[in-house]
Amino acid sequence: MSNFSNVGFIVTTQEEFQQLLDKAYKTSNPIKTNEGAYSIYTDNSGAELFIQFNNKNVCIGANPHFKGKSKRTVCLTNAVERLESELDGAFHCWADPSEENNPDSGAYPFVFDLPDFKTIGQIDFPKNFVIQLTAFAQELSIYNSEKEYEDSQTSEPKWATQSFVPSGLFSFGEDKDPNPPQATGMFTGVIKQFERKRNELTNEEFYWLLVDTLGGEVDVVADIRFFEQAPVVNGIVQGVFWLSGQLINAPKREFKENKTFFQKLFGQ
């Protein structure tokens, strides 16, 4: 199971991954940036694939996302560059700020990756934004009721039915971690809606859940193999997740196309 399979893009080999990108690319929509381009595949299930190309038109990677229903307010505090790709990036933020542009009024800090990071224009930090946040399951437990969840907690610490731990901000070694903070979180929340989805490109199924947790709503997506039975509304979900988000009404970054010598000479 993987972040890709959590939205129905099941691949087990590099060859299968390349075949998936080739197939998705045929119906994708390109967005140019100064560092390259994203070719975005989206189907009616909400599953998305952001295929990355550098300025030499070479494919350098791809990230899944899910276009969900969640909306929550966060206070962005700074941008986080990623070493994996010039088109990757993240934001550090505080959840559910009670005051405008004041991160200290938030509930807790966390980091989320953005599949379209290089399309975002200048932001004067700190700044409140509404975001759509998708949590891709890495570990997952489902409970049919609050009582079933509480009965399962036989050791300390015991977690509330709505809790969030920004595990991607922790450094577990004695030395300072040289890597940027990771977009991961451990949380527990209440299932408000759910649906068994089918990825149109691959015909593979996955589950989507709209979950209410500490700090706001989040869309949870998970490989069908995580589930022994279907979830239920007002049931409890708990797990470890990769966090991928998008800014709603984000400022757009200006694209400066590199012109050739002859284009500049003749004013084209």
Tell me the domain boundaries of the chain: 5-66, 72-247
Q: What is the DSSP letter of 144?
A: S
Q: What is the mean pLDDT of residues 202-221?
A: 98
Over pLDDT 90: what percentage of the chain? 83
pLDDT, position 37: 96
- Measured CA to CA, the distance from residue 104 to residue 111 in angstroms comes to 16
Residue 48's beta-bridge partner residues? 42, 65
Q: What is the DSSP letter of 120?
A: B
Provide CB contacts within 8 A for 28, sequence distance 6+.
Answer: 39, 40, 41, 49, 51
Which pairing describes strands 236-247 and 127-143: parallel, antiparallel, or unpaired? Answer: antiparallel
pLDDT tier at 264, thresholds 50, 70, 90: very low
- ∠ CA 261-266-268, nearest 5°, is 85
pLDDT, position 178: 58
* Torsion (CA) 43, 48, 54, 57 in degrees, nearest 10: -20
Residue 23: enclosing H or E segment and its boundaries? helix 14-25
Residue 262 pLDDT exceeds 80: no
pLDDT, position 173: 46
Q: Is-above-0.95 flag for pTM?
A: no
Identity of the residue numbered 108:
Y
Record the tokens describing residue 102, joined without a space: 């004041």
pLDDT (tens digit, 9 = 90+) per residue, 40-85?
999 999 999 999 999 999 999 999 999 999 999 999 999 998 888 9
Cα 111 to chain center, whole Å? 10
Residue 152 pLDDT exceeds 50: yes
pLDDT (tens digit, 9 = 90+) per residue, 126-143?
999 999 999 999 999 999
Record the tokens describing residue 45, joined without a space: 């299930």
Over pLDDT 70: what percentage of the chain? 92
- Are 201 and 258 a contacting pair, CB within 8 Å? no
Q: Name the nearest CA neighbour of 28 among 62, 76, 73, 71.
A: 62
- Measured CA to CA, the distance from residue 128 to residue 149 in angstroms comes to 34
Q: What is the mean pLDDT of residues 182-209?
A: 97
Measured between alpha carbons, how far is residue 207 from residues 66, 135, 136, 193, 199 in Å?
Answer: 11, 12, 11, 11, 10
Provide CB contacts within 8 A for 138, sequence distance 6+.
Answer: 184, 239, 240, 241, 242
Residue 66: enclosing H or E segment and its boundaries? strand 59-66
